[in-house]
Amino acid sequence: MKKVLVISTSLRSDSNSDMLADEFIKGAEAAGNRAEKISLADKNIAFCRGCLACQKLGHCVIDDDAIWIAEKMAEADVIAYATPIYYYEMSGQMKTLIDRCNSLFPADYRFRGIYLLTASAVNDESAADGALNGLEGWLACFPKAHLAGTVHAGGVEAPGEAAGHPALKKAFEMGKNV
């Protein structure tokens, strides 16, 4: 049994990327894994100050939700990020969280498989390339981890528009095979 953490970064209710996150979780649980979802919609996460104190302390000096989220990440075997694509890039809140998880760099983290679940109005897989590139930059700092899979729901803009999209089944199957 693996410990799966899904981080949903959309701030919108009934978001398309959140639908992908939910299907990924259903698949992971169907395979007997324990899955947890954290939504950033109601979280307080400040920008990284670049002070690098986290490298010595093992946690950030900014007292907000990023501290306990980073702790959950360190304990997970699998992490899936679900993000809407804004201007061909990950959401700002996802990037802010990734920056704030600098404390994980020297830590004895458990995560190995990293997944990216994206949704965009643009109906082209390449719409998520910027987000993928950013995530791969983060992954380059964690040599024990690897990109295990991506799912993109393209051509969805309005909340809930991904209902019935083939990417939902793909997210379920990907979660099932973590």
pLDDT tens, residue by residue, 25-41: 999 999 999 999 999 99
Domain limits for position 94: 3-176
- Distance, in Å, from the CA atom of 51 to the CA atom of 35, rounded to the nearest integer, reads 33
Position 141 scores a pLDDT of 94
The reply to whether the predicted model has a pTM over 0.95 is: yes
Angle value at C-alpha 174, between 171 and 175, nearest 5 degrees: 85
Which two three-digit tokens encode residue 81? 């990020």
The domain tally of the chain equals: 1
User: What is the average pLDDT score of the chain?
Assistant: 97
User: Which CATH number characterizes residue 9's domain?
Assistant: 3.40.50.360
Distance of CA 93 to the CA centre of its chain: 11
